[in-house]
Amino acid sequence: MLDKQYQAKDHEAKIYKMWLDHDCFSPDSEISQNLNKKSKKANESFSIIMPPPNANDPLHVGHAMFVTLEDIMIRFARMQGKDTVWIPGTDHAGIETQFVFEKKLKKEGKSRFNFDRETLFKMIWDYVSENSAVAVDQIKQLGASADWSRYKFTLDKDIVETVTETFIKMNQDGLVYRANRLVNFCPKCGTAFSNLEVDHKEQDTSLYYIKYGPFTLATTRPETKFGDTGLAVHPDDKRYQKYIGQEIEVEGLNGNFKLKVIADDFVDPKFGTGVVKITPYHDFNDFAAWQRHKDELPEPIQIVDFEGRLTATAGKYAGLKIAIAREQVIKDLEEKGLLVKIDKNYHNNLSVCYRCGNPIEPLPLPQFYIKVKSLTNSVIKKIDQGEIKVFGAGHDKILRHWLETLEDWNISRQIVWGIRLPIWYEIDKNLDAQITFIDQEKNRVSGKLADLLKENSIEEIRAGLQNISARIEANYLISQENPGERYLQETDTFDTWFSSSQWPFVTLINNKPGDFERFYPTNTMETAYDILMFWVMRMLMMGIYKTGQTPFKNIYLHGLIRDAKGLKMSKSKGNVVNPMEISEKYGTDALRMALVIRSSAGLDKSVGDADFKAGRNLSNKLWNASRFILITREENQVNQPINCAHDQVFKEKLKQITKDVTKNLESFQLGVAADTLYNEFWHWFCDQCIEESKKGLINQDLMLDGLKTFLKLLHPFIPFVTEAIWQELAKENLVEDKILTSSAWPE
RNA sequence: GGACAAUUAGCUCAGUUGGUUAGAGCGCACGAUUCACAUUCGUGAGGUCACAAGUUCGAGUCUUGUAUUGUCCACCA
């Protein structure tokens, strides 16, 4: 006899263990093979590569969403008898993780500067190892029917090798180059970012009007004036015609200097005074202008360093942090009578680091870039050929827009937690490289390689190495292996997205023999729309580049999970839902149902306590309907009418529901499928049919069949309670298949 | 400035080839109950489907425009 209430807690862990014990999630196990044998779809492969969560972080509700949706797809495909695999993994999450680790170091009174890069890497490795079981255990708790024997981590040796091989191949194909351009540099995090990783924040600031010789010009960044190498006006601006091409004398804070006036139509004559100072190394527009007028203008000057301080060129302001330097400069300009006025109500957008929120500095840095044009074109072609379907409320158009406008991809990051670039500098040819290392006395030493070698051996430098900045003209070798004793490896690591963009094929190439041929291209990529361009777009580019095929046929994008009122979840608002707490309190099935029911691809979804309760109630309802059917069988087994009045109608309706749900699932209408099942089960099967069966209008065996059908149809959505009930039926010998997870989908 | 969405019951949201009386959860009102389930059951109230025009025998659904909200991108120093 079943309990009156279904207690999720008493069943879930046991059931998950049973699935694992029977190897239900592996496509190679006996139980899976048996299921395939019975199916007409055994030749179809169905694979999903799990978006690897950050190995270091506990799961949030967004993870619960992807686990739910992907598990539904996988369980459905598996029950259909397809050759099904879901490959799980975790991500080293370069910047995220190093940022968290550095915060921890700071609490201990240390920083990344105290350690050589190898020691620091090892410390982070150990830290991540300690925590990485948490994410995996939580994914399991959410019922994920992933094949854990195929689990991968982005820093696994074989993965790293394949990722760097791809880079080497790209280099051979002429897709890699090194360039000295402005990058988005975060002085706080100590690394450059791609354009995609920069946030923009509206701010109120001041616009300063400053005297520049015969001109007055407006700027928000007076502290960069020491890096000015020219002035620009609009070519048609009548006010300034006579100055174009002239050199003018400017009174400055560090003495007088000369600037050439150029004409360029990027200048808006209506903004400020229509005169712009050109500071190529600290402003993207100015850099572009300098490149257009290279022959007219002198070499740019770097006035801000990588720690956010003014350089020696700034004279008495050298070493000051930007904000302080700005105040000082303004004060001094005012004293000298060079400050004309300040517009204090100026409003603009400031670029900030998406990670730490501090201002991003445009700074010149030699970095490795990937030419993207041929890659994006190949993706567009595949889309045009209809090889990729996007489910997600207009995001296909956004994807296309990105593919058409994407700029070359800066893949160098100045952090240690990642895959080191397979770039090698020959020592004797790069004696002018700038090196920072920890010497044997634990002192941090910086300087030119040639100078450092006078006091230290190359082994000492290599062992304590923190950073190499080779000149843009530097010779380098690209090689998987260390080319020899007289080489130093580049200290930059790959952008995390460079490795994760290869995830679909690296996880298959470096897995069980034959997996790549068997499961690639994967069927569906399911992830949140907010990483469409970071990840999905790049997976398409890299997948097609490396394999000639799209890495997946379908892209299902889910939205943000919001709170009950539709507000974004955030720690500061205190409205963050911890999926694990919900799972403990109401059951994993309740959580899953609340997330998926009536959800729509590409649209945000709000959930709250009421939704979780509704989910829990469904589990209980299912449990009790089963309880009723089992009880009445025991009590009434001998004496049941064979043909009842509503039998035929019942069968037809059941068939229709099966057909509808199957169709919904096949067309990625997961939210509709869940809604249909919820309503038909509760309001038709329970409220109507069970009541009618009590009156003898529906045959009891038929009711059992109906229950079994609903258990199967509901199983992908709420796997635990359906399996728990199935096991009760199995005890009574009422089912053929021992395990619901590995049973066939109804027709 | 550009693009993409959304707008349906008090709240949060479904409604995919246009087709009877537009649905769910929660909330609300009234009632029931030792009979599988109070994590229950029954009955009910509540909607000019943002607005306007158009296509059509027929529009929540298609077209155009407007408004509001949101997201993404770009950005003038």
Residues A464-515: tens digit of each pLDDT: 999 999 988 888 999 999 998 889 999 999 999 999 999 999 999 999 999 9
Q: Indicate if CB(A617) is under 7 A from strand B.
A: yes
Q: What is the ipTM of this complex?
A: 0.90
- pLDDT confidence band for A160 (50 / 70 / 90): very high
- pLDDT confidence band for A46 (50 / 70 / 90): very high
Q: What is the pLDDT of residues A264-305, one digit of tens each?
A: 888 888 888 888 999 999 999 899 999 888 888 899 989 999
- pLDDT confidence band for A247 (50 / 70 / 90): confident
Single-letter amino acid, residue A64 = A
Q: Indicate if CB(A235) is under 7 A from strand B.
A: no
CB distance A47 to A523 below 8 Å: yes
Which nt sits closest to A224, CA to C1'?
A: B77
Task: Reply yes or no: is the peptide bond before residue A235 cis, omega within 30 of 0.
Answer: no
State the average pLDDT over residues A145-173.
Answer: 96
How far apart, in whole angstroms, are the C-alpha atoms of residue A546 and residue A499?
13
- pLDDT confidence band for A641 (50 / 70 / 90): low
Single-letter amino acid, residue A323 = A
State the average pLDDT over residues A176-201.
Answer: 89
State the average pLDDT over residues A169-193.
Answer: 92
Mean pLDDT of all residues belonging to chain A: 90
pLDDT exceeds cutoff 80 at A572: no
Percent of chain A with pLDDT over 90: 54
Residue A483 structure tokens: 């080319």
How far apart, in whole angstroms, are the C-alpha atoms of residue A652 and residue A700?
16
State the average pLDDT over residues A189-210.
Answer: 86
- pLDDT confidence band for A314 (50 / 70 / 90): confident
Distance A620 CA to B30 C1' (A): 27
Q: What is the pLDDT of residues A339-383, one digit of tens each?
A: 888 888 888 888 888 888 889 999 999 999 999 999 999 999 999
State the average pLDDT over residues A430-447.
Answer: 90
pLDDT exceeds cutoff 70 at A630: yes
Cα separation of the two ends of chain A: 30
Distance A552 CA to B1 C1' (A): 35
CB distance A181 to A195 below 8 Å: no
- pLDDT confidence band for A639 (50 / 70 / 90): low
State the average pLDDT over residues A557-585.
Answer: 84
How far apart, in whole angstroms, are the C-alpha atoms of residue A339 and residue A253?
12
Residues 6+ apart with CB under 8 A from A501: A535, A538, A539, A541, A542, A543
Q: What is the pLDDT of residues A319-344, one digit of tens each?
A: 889 889 898 888 888 888 888 888 88
Please identify which residue in the block is written with the tokens 């507000």.
Answer: A567
Distance A403 CA to B63 C1' (A): 29
Q: What is the pTM of this model?
A: 0.91
Q: Indicate if CB(A616) is under 7 A from strand B.
A: yes
Residue A95 structure tokens: 């910047």
Protein-proximal positions, strand B, CB < 7 A: 3-6, 11-16, 23-27, 35-42, 72-77
* Rounded (10°) angle between helices A537-547 and A373-384: 90
Distance A704 CA to B24 C1' (A): 26
Residue A235 vs residues A209, A243, A269, A428: alpha-carbon distances, Å: 21, 11, 9, 49
Q: Indicate if CB(A288) is under 7 A from strand B.
A: no
Gyration radius (Cα) of chain A, Å: 32
Q: Indicate if CB(A283) is under 7 A from strand B.
A: yes
- Nucleotide B26's nearest residue (CA vs C1') is A610
In degrees, rounded to 5, the angle at the alpha carbon of residue A69 between the alpha carbons of residues A64 and A73 is: 145
Helix (H, G, I), strand (E, B) or coil at A465: strand
Residues 6+ apart with CB under 8 A from A143: A12, A16, A67, A71, A588, A589, A592, A719, A720
How far apart, in whole angstroms, are the C-alpha atoms of residue A519 and residue A84?
9
